[in-house]
Amino acid sequence: MKNEEISDSCSCDDHHVESDRRKFIRQLSLGGALLTGVPQIASAFGPEQQGSQQWDKSPLLQSGKIQKITLLQTADIHAQLYTHDEFFLENNKAVYKKRGGFAVLKTMLDTLRKENLQNTLLIDGGDCFQGGGVAALSEGRAIIPLVNAIDYDIVLPGNWEVVYGKAMMERDMGAYNAQKVCANMFHDTNGPDHGELIFHPWYVQHFGQLKIGFIGYNDPLTPKRQSPAYSKGIKFTKPEVNVERYIRHLRDIEKCNLVFLITHMGLAQQVDLGNMKYVDGVDFILGADTHERVRKPIQAKYTKVTEPGAFGSFVSRLELIIENGKLKDAKYDLLDVDPVKYRPDPEMLKRVEEARKPYAEEMDRVIGKSKKTLVRYYVLENPIDNLITDAIYWKFKPDIALSNGFRFCPPLVVDPSKGEVDITNEFLWNMLPVNSDAKAGEITGKQLWDWLEKELHNVFAKNPAQRFGGWVVRFSGMKINFTAYNEMGKRINWVKIKGESIDLAKKYSIVACEREGDPDDTLCRIEKVLSAHKLGATLHDIMREYLKEHPVVSPVVEGRVTATDVPHDLLSQLEGYDYQFR
């Protein structure tokens, strides 16, 4: 049962009542006060009343003079079906614990709902049905019933929801029972829907006389961050194009008491958005995309920003205290999806097993072993991508093997009693959820240098709106040193290829993955590559062949990427705020 066990069955009456209530409200609801500067009600909530249970004991709350609204959020689940190893940073050391899984998440969310049964909303911030083998092989379809069984109220498409193409995205998203919101994804076709929004831009939820509005935004850089073919037929716009208009509509026309943005743009971009005048009137930005674990809301100039981690390992809980229709206080927690505290829901376990059954034999096949824990949380360099690029380098023997700076994939931790851990096809899909073709070509040292400068700018740009969501690109056969916070074009200090300093005039052979929709002479966002051609093998083929030849691997961080001003174990792009990834 993949680290989970079936618990005793229990009555589901409360859940059915809650589900019916929310479905009724959704049918009614299709379609404030700014937190910053609002005084907290110290008389109602003293220092000793910090937890949810203490709040519930408040005389004002019990008298009905004030109202508590609970917003629960997940994001970036990336189709991780089962409880898995999760990375934590404690006392500056990596620690791994079991977290997540749809069955554990189901139990936890049902439990949290019951704490505020009539006034709880559940939101997902996107990237839900991509990131695992079952999701990829079913093009997301196997994941949709699991999400519906959790019974979300509002969902936002993330940057990876487009991975199976526009038509499949619309079918998958359309199969959700939850309300879909996104204000910046438009039909870009020759049909009659050209220029129209694909999803409704906003949603209003009623709690008695109280109205709360939500506006959704996906990452406008999606077509550049990943294969352009995925987004064919979709036009993305930046939030500033229409967010002020929608805020004013919800505030002035709909008369919403509170307004939230649900965004899938990455923490740095979301904090930057919170500093813009045109979001004045937004109470919180409920963020996603960069898998950041915000444990205390980040205060931007006009609003506050949260983000709830990834892989179904965490749930954010935002409790709002409303008096006379105005926000008076808010309490925020990032909660672990802990299988010890929340036993797996047996019905959800059955659903997961059924969804996985057609692919189970293939997913369970062991293709290699590792003596080192495989992890992908570090911004500069990590063992997983060193393994991938080493395999490409071994197979084709180029001067340089490249891989995108992917972020997804939970850790795979070595069993101390065995001294190694199995690498299965399922974990291969976690590492490489898109089975791209390998592609080769030649570039000059000058092209390589300039490309590295662009890629580093995508990660460390002073303007957060220019940052892509991924980490530093990965490679084998090359080492680089840079200064992260220098000006654009002045970050690289040195590059060494096969131990020798780069020759800007020399041509180097490279192998990377094909990005569907790129021009033929573009490789890993490097343009005008000479002699670019596919190699007749996919990355999965290469990995399996490499692991067959090297059945036990030991990839580690070994200094392929170093920087003068950020540590080798950097975990976040966001700087300058009271935030630490842990």
**Which pLDDT tens digit goes with each residue over 436-483?**
999 999 999 999 999 999 999 999 998 887 887 778 999 999 999 999
Q: Is the pLDDT of residue 19 over 60?
A: no
For residue 14 the two structure tokens come to: 């409360």
With cut-offs at 50, 70 and 90, classify the pLDDT of residue 187: very high
In 3D, which of 78, 73, 72 has the Cα closest to residue 146? 78
Q: Is the pLDDT of residue 3 over 70?
A: no
pLDDT of residue 7: 37
Rounded Cα distance, 272 and 300, in Å: 8
**Single-letter code of the amino acid located at 512:** A
For residue 547 the two structure tokens come to: 């692991």
pLDDT of residue 286: 98
With cut-offs at 50, 70 and 90, classify the pLDDT of residue 160: very high
Dump the DSSP string for 467-536: --SS-S-EEESEEEEE-TTSPTT--EEEEEETTEE--TTSEEEEEEE--TTS-TT-BTTB-S-EEEEEEE
Cα dihedral 428→434→440→442 (10° resolution): -110
Bridge partners (DSSP) listed for residue 513: 438
Give, in order, the Cα–Cα distances in Å from 120 to each of 18, 28, 192, 303, 477.
9, 16, 38, 22, 52
pLDDT of residue 54: 59
Rounded Cα distance, 335 and 347, in Å: 23
The answer to which of 221-225, 326-330, 424-428 has the lowest mean pLDDT is 221-225
Q: Is the pLDDT of residue 283 over 60?
A: yes
For residue 515 the two structure tokens come to: 């990005």
Residues in the chain: 582
CATH architecture of 63-351: 4-Layer Sandwich (3.60)
Give, in order, the Cα–Cα distances in Å from 40 to each of 120, 321, 327, 328, 475.
21, 10, 9, 6, 51
> pLDDT digits over 474-508, tens only?
999 999 999 999 999 999 999 999 999 999 999 99
Q: Is the pLDDT of residue 13 over 50?
A: no
Contact 139, 172 (CB under 8 A): yes
Instruction: Say which residue, 49 or 313, is predicted with more confidence.
Output: 313
3-class DSSP state of 581: coil
pLDDT of residue 573: 81
> pLDDT digits over 288-344, tens only?
999 999 999 999 999 999 999 999 999 999 999 999 999 999 999 999 999 999 999
Rounded Cα distance, 404 and 475, in Å: 9
pLDDT of residue 62: 56
Rounded Cα distance, 288 and 100, in Å: 17
Q: What is the pTM of this model?
A: 0.89
The answer to which of 47-51, 251-255, 572-576 has the lowest mean pLDDT is 47-51
With cut-offs at 50, 70 and 90, classify the pLDDT of residue 404: confident
Cα dihedral 86→379→390→424 (10° resolution): 20
Rounded Cα distance, 281 and 259, in Å: 7
553: enclosing H helix or E strand: strand 552-553
3-class DSSP state of 233: coil
The answer to which of 18-32, 98-112, 316-330, 532-546 has the lowest mean pLDDT is 18-32
3-class DSSP state of 558: coil
Neighbours of 277 (CB within 10 A): 9
Q: Is the pLDDT of residue 32 over 70?
A: no
Contact 218, 169 (CB under 8 A): no
pLDDT of residue 123: 98
**Single-letter code of the amino acid located at 214:** F
pLDDT mean across residues, the chain: 90
3-class DSSP state of 160: helix
Segments making up each domain of the chain, as ranges: 63-351, 360-563
Rounded Cα distance, 304 and 296, in Å: 10
CATH architecture of 360-563: Alpha-Beta Complex (3.90)
